[in-house]
Amino acid sequence: MRYKILFAAALLAVACVGHPADDEDDFPGPDGPGGQPVEEAAAPGLVLDFTATWCVNCPRMTSAIEEAMSQRPGAVFPVCVHFKDVFSFPDGEDLANYFNIQEYPSAIINLDKGSLTTATSKDIIISRIDAAVRKKPCDIKLSYADGVLSASVTAAESGSYRLGALLLEDGLVAAQTGGTEDYVHDNILRKILSADIFGEDLGSLESGAVAGSDFPIDNLADSGKYHVVAYVTDGGIVNSATSITLP
């Protein structure tokens, strides 16, 4: 994956510390960019939640993301990247190194390294979503049949775009430090379906042009509950996102 090439793997020093709003000082207040109330924005938010079952404050980050989802229905898409626990993602440490994750929990918004936050605050998460500078969001349509996810993207503005897709698993029960013995874990990252976290290259598209890709999905546990989050990136930052539940 590209982030493996750009950054050598390093030993990750992790800390699970109690700071519910470490960077709240840089939160701009009730208004977002341009003075618009943040609750009126409809910008998509792909939230990489770097988490672990051994992390005492990780449930607080989960709760903050759920609050952001409630405030932005259908526009906030959490992706839980577990580290050194029963749900660990094989490339999770490479992702953590690339995004310079040194504390758990941490969140990255829309794949922007500058959005890193350890604050377990819904307002911080929403402010990071609204801070991204991007083109008008592209339209993404998803369908799934016979083990293949098909994604089609219609460009809203001319530009160079990439298409990413992540397979997530829901409803797994495991003890959570800071939570309960029967804590339900959702949105667990199981596989990057696209070439890498930044997506498949769709090339340069004119406004209104359509492009897409097919992603085979196999080896799913019969008893599992899965969904896919698909997203378009523009200059490395998420431009639009959507999801589909797998039957």
Q: Which of 14, 100, 65 is nearest to 187 (CA)?
A: 65
* Residue 21 φ then ψ, to 5°: -150, 60
Instruction: Write down the CATH number for the domain with range 139-245.
Output: 2.60.40
Could you state, in order of their start, the residue ranges of all structural domains in the chain?
A: 2-18+43-131, 139-245
Across the range 27-33, mean pLDDT stands at 37
Across the range 37-64, mean pLDDT stands at 86
Band the pLDDT of 43: cuts 50, 70, 90.
confident
pLDDT at 13 over 50: no
For residue 204, give the H/E element and its range: strand 200-205
Identify the pLDDT of residue 42: 61
| CA pseudo-torsion sign 25, 133, 123, 58 | negative
Band the pLDDT of 16: cuts 50, 70, 90.
low
Say if residues 82 and 53 touch (Cβ distance below 8 Å).
yes
pLDDT at 172 over 90: yes
Other CB atoms within 10 A of residue 82 CB: 23
Say if residues 235 and 143 touch (Cβ distance below 8 Å).
no
Most confident of 13-22, 39-48, 74-83: 74-83
Percent of the chain with pLDDT over 70: 83
Identify the pLDDT of residue 2: 46
Residue 18: burial class (beta carbons within 10 Å; 0-12, 13-18, 19+): exposed
* pTM for this model (two decimals): 0.84
Q: Is 187 left (phi over 0), alpha (psi -120 to 50) or beta?
A: left
Question: Measured in whole angstroms, how far is the alpha carbon of residue 105 from the centre of its chain?
Answer: 14
Identify the pLDDT of residue 133: 83
pLDDT at 20 over 60: no
For residue 184, give the H/E element and its range: strand 183-185
Count of positions (residues) in the chain: 247
Identify the pLDDT of residue 9: 37
Band the pLDDT of 219: cuts 50, 70, 90.
confident
Residue with token string 């797998």: 246
Identify the pLDDT of residue 55: 97
pLDDT at 41 over 70: no
Band the pLDDT of 134: cuts 50, 70, 90.
confident
* Class (C level, CATH) for 2-18+43-131: alpha beta
